[in-house]
Structure 1
Amino acid sequence: MPVIVKRWYQLISLCFTSLLLAACGQAQLPSGLVYCSEGNPESFNPQLVTSGTTIDATSHQIYSRLVNYSQAKGDIIPGLATQWIMSEDGLSYQFTLREHVSFHKTRHFSPSRDFNADDVLFSFNRIIDPLHPYHLVSRTGYPFFQSIGFAELIESIEKVNDYQVIFHLTRKDASFLSNLATDFAVILSAEYGYQLLSQGRPEDIDYYAVGTGPFQLSQYVKNEYIRFKKHPVYWGPTVELDQLVFDITPRSTARIAKLITGDCSVSALPKAGELAVLAQHPDVVVDAKPGLNVSFWAFNTQKPPLDDVRVRRALAHAIDKRNILDAVYNDTAVEATGVLPPASWAYSQNLSPNEYNPQKAIELLNEAGVNNLAINVWAMPVARIYNPSALKTAELIQADLARVGVKLNIISYDWSVFTQKLSASNYDSVLIGWNADNSDPDNFFTPLLSCAALASNNNRSRWCQKDFEHLLTQAQSVTSQPERKAFYQSAEAIISDQVPMVTLAHAKKVVLKKNNITAMQIRPYGGISFAKAIQISEEVE
């Protein structure tokens, strides 16, 4: 057994409650769960990032949102808002807020009041108002909100009374409620924020996090673990787990080893080729659901010769996506013909993607007058739901391009360095992807390829196209699903023609868990949630 695995096995088996912030020797152990996660969060405030690792560790554990998205019903359901009314002209939404909702009490903060309208204004004005005292505290900006043009959409947020607020919009937007249901639209404590401001420590709001979610942050040790404990007065359904630990384990093989030995009860992001090992362990369940995600190879369309659509089409024709699906995904994904996955209600079955045709690739490169082309690809160093191995994908693309006379250099960095360097946008191309937060098609298009997303550095293709942008605006301005579907399918056709990216695959969302973990639903979109998880205790002699 590897040393690190053995150490954790001893730590949990010999003194499980010590790991979970309790003392050994108690007659009744507190209920707890250890989740093997793949990396460190960049922050403890999901407003500031788009990384899945951070979302998993924060959004559904620490925080709540005004509204949520129902997987079962496929619509928007109450969260911290119990009801809402849209004006006839579609330009304002009035929310009635839930009463008697408590923020976390931590060693850094003791709330003197319940959640109210001031917290809603604080949370969203921080994002949209450059004069808000917390607006510039974020060094990363607010990438998701900037990518959807949220500040331009919101004219103002009005407090009617302590439990009613009105969002006034500058234009109609059919995706507005869906965006409030995303993992990024969390509610912070205004009281905590102003306390930290008076103490000269405003940045602590994003690290020593306080929310109204089912768990509160207890301790974080980088590269080792995150510890949470149950919020004792959580407003939502009863939380069965007293303790929750994220065991930070970057290597997939180590996560699987910990799951098998019992060091973890749930594990993230297995590599497809490793799943066969688990067939020998009947106490491990492979929970797989179709995911609302897409992996893609994005071209920096502002860099020659990638600014030439003929070159981009040539590179797309050179790629054998079926080979990538077989070698990287091992039957856990379907080929992407566009940005939207087949599970989306706006999915187009009539797209004509740039099919695998090496000879066509050579002809297009010759037509563009490009010879001896050498480009770089940045490959994520970590596994993601949409791509379990970007490095392996890059190697397969490298071999395909070599056959048409193109040299591909593969570059990778540590994840934190990788994300920082991406913001500088000095890459030729990047292998990355997107995991949607709800089923609205706009959640794929606007955050990834809009002009606003270009300004926020979330548009990895560095692409801004007028006709495409017009289609997105039209799709947002109507509520009829058939009309919106037509606009989004036209947008897909532009992407297929202009090739700012090569979409590769839509992967299943796979989570591994022990068979004594129940009532834990795997959502096809967004981050993982442990609020409803139950761990059935095993008898101990």
Structure 2
Amino acid sequence: MYIKHSFFIGLQHFYKRRQLMPHITKLAIATSIATVLALGACTNDASQSPSEENRFIEYGIATDIRPLDPHTQNIVINWRVGANIYDRLIEQDENLELQPSLATDWKMLDELTWEFSLREDVVFHDGNVFDAEAVKANFERNLAEETASPTAYLFQAVEEVEVIDPATVRFHLNAPFASLPAHLSHHGASIISPEVIAEDNEAVANGEAPGSVVSEKPIGTGPFQFESWTPDEELVLIANDDYWGGAPQVAGVRFTVIPDAATRLANLQSGNSDVIDAVSPSSMAEIEENSDINVIEVESTYVNFLAFNTNEAPFDDVRVRQAFAKAIDKNEIFEGIVNGYGSIANSPLSPFDFGFTEIDGLSFDPDEAKALLAEAGYGEGDLDVTLTVSTEGDQVNIATYIQHALAEIGVNVEIEQIEFATFVEYTGEGKAQMFLLGRSSPTGDGYNGFFTILHSNKQTSNQLRYPYANQDLDQLIDATLAAEDEAERSAYFKEAQQLVAEEVPFHFLYYPSTLTGVSNELEGVNVIPTGVVFLKDAAFTND
């Protein structure tokens, strides 16, 4: 039975005990800058061959990081690495339920005020003490106009951060913002050393770009600390033996950039890597034959989709978008290309997000697709479109299937393949007519899932990439923040999902599982649905 709570009591209770879809983890057993940035204060020599007593995790990653400034960078690989350098006030567990971290407790004093109690035993990697002033400095920097933070939208309702005492801080809001606790678990809410922030602010005042200092001194309070970064080659972290949550059980982590999936897998099989990311579903049969490695499969918050430039013909016509959706058989992609690792998607939200509702998307119906195109004025062979994809993973294979499927309804598709970094820039400039991409919902709350790609006031980086705008949808998304209880919020989210299913600004395809390859010599690698990997408890079994 559902008991309706007031906004004040209900949401406070909800965010202290959030119930989400169970996390499912399966172990498939047998399965230009050329300068190295370094902190002089770090003395461990990570380049030496590790002994069993001083062993580094060798981690193969598909793409390089960007500068490790959580307030100016917002990509998944930075979340994955940064989660081990920085802490946040609130963390997510493997079910995406909110857990205390740098904040030991939090409560809603009224609908415009949240109070957080802070840990008093925490120091930054540079020796500075973590306290309420550090929290204030971090959120003021993230929200400052000159920082141009891509995650400032997460904290848009924060009007002031007030220091009550060294261990207590209050967030004063300009409007009810039910998503705030969930948003404080995002990578963008990572806490940086206030001394580094002061240096970075001074550099900005002197004409430097935001993050110029933080990127050279990514100093947090996390279980690992920055040692060095050689762009496009490797990033080295060393253990923080003074970590408030207990010292890591390994000497450090070396992230090596290995773009080719086959090479990453070969490194894992040979023992040159202990962990690799982005395992291809097509490699699973091969992995199952190797008793020295396994794959951690985690259902993810990521959703892959086909995006349309709704500002220009032909995709400014909803009938064309609907026709394309009806021409594509998602099962062909899900079963035939990604081998069933994940689940079919019909929503911008993942099943882990609060507000997710099972929505019936447009069904596969090529005949109806042809009829919709004819209604929109396009006969057989009249329509030529370009599908832009990155060369990563299965994107080209999926594009090839879509090309074939659309040919069946008389549409000519040219596939444009672009290296990923260039692809991100190209789509961000609004140049693509139609493209394959995806997004993660890292907060576990439906507001972020909608706002980042579907709200008219979405963050600047997505304004041109995802131009679709709908005032009715905006109103539904905004209403989820001020709803009086969870049931009302859920109702708004459901209506918003139904509207998107009808309008088809995106054709949502599937939620891919996160597949992480791990040596059987390593245990304690914690992969959560957002794609973040926590390594504090990782340990070698033969040590």
Pick the TM interval, shorter chain.
0.7 to 0.9
| Deviations, residues 65-90 of structure 1 (Å, cap 9, x unaligned) | 01112335x532211112222123x1
1:399 aligns with 2:404: yes
Residues 288, 510 of structure 1: 8 Å contact kept = yes
| Alignment counterpart, residue 178 of structure 2, candidates 167, 174, 177 | 174
| Deviations, residues 432-466 of structure 1 (Å, cap 9, x unaligned) | 11122232222322222112216441674311211
| Alignment counterpart, residue 94 of structure 1, candidates 106, 112, 115 | 115
| Deviations, residues 303-337 of structure 1 (Å, cap 9, x unaligned) | 22211111111111111211111232101022112
| Alignment counterpart, residue 516 of structure 2, candidates 511, 519, 530 | 511
Shift, 1:238, TM fit: 3.0
Shift, 1:43, TM fit: 2.0
| CA gap 1:129/1:234 in 2 versus in 1, 3 angstroms | same
Shift, 1:479, TM fit: 5.4
SS at match of 1:85: strand
| Alignment counterpart, residue 144 of structure 1, candidates 151, 164, 173 | 151
SS at match of 2:243: coil
Q: Which residue of 1 aligns with 2:46?
A: 21
1:492 aligns with 2:517: no
Opposite residue 43 of structure 1, the aligned amino acid is P
1:39 aligns with 2:63: yes
1:124 aligns with 2:139: yes
TM-score of the aligned structures, taking structure 1 as reference length: 0.86
SS at match of 1:359: helix
1:436 aligns with 2:422: no
Q: Which residue of 2 aligns with 1:85?
A: 107
| CA gap 1:24/1:67 in 2 versus in 1, 3 angstroms | closer
Q: Which residue of 1 aligns with 2:538?
A: 533
Shift, 1:521, TM fit: 2.3
Residues 321, 504 of structure 1: 8 Å contact kept = yes
Opposite residue 258 of structure 1, the aligned amino acid is N
Separation in 2, partners of 1:211, 1:24 = 27
TM-score of the aligned structures, taking structure 2 as reference length: 0.86
SS at match of 1:513: strand
| Alignment counterpart, residue 471 of structure 1, candidates 473, 476, 484 | 476
Opposite residue 56 of structure 1, the aligned amino acid is R
Q: Which runs of 5+ in 2 are unaligned?
A: 1-43
Separation in 1, partners of 2:79, 2:504 = 29
Opposite residue 175 of structure 2, the aligned amino acid is R
Opposite residue 48 of structure 1, the aligned amino acid is T
SS at match of 1:86: strand
Separation in 2, partners of 1:177, 1:343 = 16
Residues 229, 242 of structure 1: 8 Å contact kept = yes
Opposite residue 370 of structure 2, the aligned amino acid is I
1:520 aligns with 2:525: yes
Q: Which runs of 5+ in 1 are unaligned?
A: 1-18, 106-110, 384-388
| CA gap 1:24/1:522 in 2 versus in 1, 3 angstroms | closer
Residues 20, 244 of structure 1: 8 Å contact kept = no
Give the length in aligned residue pairs.
494
1:353 aligns with 2:361: yes
Q: Which residue of 2 aligns with 1:68?
A: 91
Task: Work out the percentage of aligned pairs sharing the same amino acid.
Answer: 25
1:323 aligns with 2:323: no
Residues 303, 348 of structure 2: 8 Å contact kept = yes
Separation in 2, partners of 1:207, 1:393 = 39
SS at match of 2:84: helix
Residues 103, 212 of structure 1: 8 Å contact kept = yes
Residues 20, 243 of structure 1: 8 Å contact kept = no
Q: Which residue of 2 aligns with 1:54?
A: 78
Residues 287, 293 of structure 2: 8 Å contact kept = yes
Opposite residue 144 of structure 1, the aligned amino acid is T
| Alignment counterpart, residue 216 of structure 1, candidates 216, 225, 229 | 225
Separation in 2, partners of 1:523, 1:352 = 27
Q: Which residue of 2 aligns with 1:108?
A: none
Looking at secondary structure, tell me which structure has more helix per residue. 1
Q: CA RMSD in A?
A: 2.3
Equivalence map 1:136-535=2 (5 Å): 136=147, 141-146=148-153, 148=154, 150-151=155-156, 153-196=157-200, 198=202, 203-344=212-353, 346-349=355-358, 351-371=359-379, 372-383=382-393, 389-453=394-458, 455-457=460-462, 460-478=465-483, 480-535=485-540
